[in-house]
Structure 1
Amino acid sequence: MAPEASGSGVGPSVGRSRRVPQTKYQKKLAAFLGKDADSIRADDALTTVDVPRQFLKDVYMVGQVPLTALRADPRISYALYVPEAHYDPDASPAGRKPLPLLVDVHGSTRVFTSVYTTLKTFAQEPAHPCAVLAPLFPAGMEGPHDVDSYKVLRSPTSRSDLALLAVLEEVAHRWPGIDTDRVYMTGFSGGGQFALRFLYLYPERLAAVSVGAPGRVTQLDDALAWPRGVADVAQLFDGVEVRRESIAKVPIQLVVGGDDTKTHGSPGFWEWLAEMKKEKKKGTGGEGGGGTDLPPMEKGRLETLKELQVAWKADGIEARLDVVPGVAHNVAGVRETVLDFMRPLIRGDH
């Protein structure tokens, strides 16, 4: 039986009503996966309002929260850090302002441990405390060699966009003292690709975004199919439209190392990869594609982001480009530049 809620930290309070959990995106994801959307529920999970304040650490709901499976799609999980000293479990209007949420999206190698190190330290800084969320989209979801599917937001058996939105619904319900309506998103390399495409589809959910060194980008080109362009976005993503005026309202950082000028793999590698994919499609009757195939990487990430900034400007979208001298393709090398961009925004200096 769940403990009664406590808002004071002295003992349980009686009669505290629970908010009805939002499950819109969890149900959408379940339906995409062929599950019974009506079976999705969240009201059986403890929230920080249910647990006396002094026991929140004992049930792992503040500090480092254990890696948690997404209920609508347990292949996907998330790590969460909630700074105990700055978190108010009271969701009532009398409570403190909800903590901002920083969402950090991993790259192709799935190293997401910054939530346990540098981002944990950042979250505890008194001038701009925040919670940190690190989703984990495992490799191999679309077959043994799949490392890219999460980057394009949609693949034959997954919707990483809906998965993240479903995670935010879970966090909103269980941690009502965290603001999940508009989040601060960072992503580097493959995570930068995810962040860029998420910005195109859901700008209203972003308080700010840092797009770090993506190897391949999606252009705001209505003549090119996804993920090269945005021609068929509404068809692929349940009627979602790309709204340039909404994208332009989001504070955007493009960040890359000054020495990040090489492509991943040689031209010969990309030729071999294209041939292998072609043969695989023959063997499966042409399955795949449908907005899931990334183009070859033809230029370095520094050049790619410079060109993207110029193209966006023509669409009325201003983005700050930070080039970190002496750094190649290294997330640690640009981390402080990313956090310097986020600090004043999370603090509210805008």
Structure 2
Amino acid sequence: MILKTFGWSFAVTALGLVAAFLYGGWVAFGLVAILSVLEISLSFDNAVVNAGVLKKMSEFWQKIFLTIGILIAVFGMRLVFPVAIVSITASLNPVKAIDLALNDKERYEELVTNAHPSIAAFGGMFLLMIFLEFIFEEREHTWLGFIERPLSRLGNIDGISVCLALIALLGSALFFAGDAHQYGGHHADKTSTVLLAGVAGLITYLVVGGLSGHFESKLEEEEEHEHELEEEAARAGKKFEPVKLVGKAAFFMFLYLEVLDASFSFDGVIGAFAVSNDAIVIALGLGIGAMYVRSLTVYLVRKGTLDDYVYLEHGAHYAIGALAVLLLVTIRYEVPEIVTGLIGVALIAWSFWSSVQRNKRLAAEGGGSDVKSEVSSGV
């Protein structure tokens, strides 16, 4: 199972590290290894959330996610995206931007750093909406019940997620964007840039999330019907196979996953410049990390980990919320990438531990109800 799922990741790791050594010796080898670990730690929560969506898709679309999707993730976000940032923000043609990336690394790093406020605003708003939509939705299981229960009741208010996201954007523009961090420790007024990018991030979420949500609601209707058929099959002693997302529904879910991955990649791409300003080294390191994120997503789906550890998805969304806040904060202040990565890993590890404890309680109680165990745990 491990080799089948992570085989390509192991192969890409070996090839990437060899390429790094041939390109820049042991120094490049070490930098690529560090960037790979950084990408995995920053994007682990991405894998957990992706698994929650991917498990609803057919095997065909899961393969598309692992093939075409990985090409988009590696070559699009980890290689083309940094160059596109320079091209757009500095009004350069793509050829000139590539030339800067390969031949004038310091100038390239300067341009990317100066573009960070707009990137942080776009990615921060997109990720914040994901967290808010999750936290305001009523769920069967609650992890931090003292937070989730009252907020799920507030979720009945129409448009509350959008309102809070816009308030966060206005706050970021007022308190952070007026003195935004720039290359070399300088600061500049990026208020209009942050507002425009933040609204673009919100619109992107509403459009892509709305389309995928539309088809997901249809899936839920089908699942209710399938549940009835499953009960009938059980009574008749027959095996029942659930229907997976296909066609347009699967396509929009695939699109949603790609946009989600892109948003998670923003901090990794920008944070990579704290380790190296070499575009080749960054592409190799983040590309290896992206392969593991994809493989980990599929592993979580095939092992049914999310069904066994019910709080993992909660922990991942809390990590998303923390990342969104940190992205907005970095418009003005520098936040070490190790801090960002550790916060996400810590929240997911905590939710995993809570899930294990919950399973132990249920086993000790002889399969008692989830509600009883959650109430007794105080969550």
Q: Larger % of strand: which?
A: 1
> What TM-score do the two structures reach when normalised by structure 1?
0.26
> What TM-score do the two structures reach when normalised by structure 2?
0.24
Computing the radius of gyration over CA atoms, which structure comes out larger, 1 or 2?
A: 2
Structure number with higher relative contact order (C-alpha < 8 Å, ≥ 6 residues apart): 2
Q: Larger % of helix: which?
A: 2
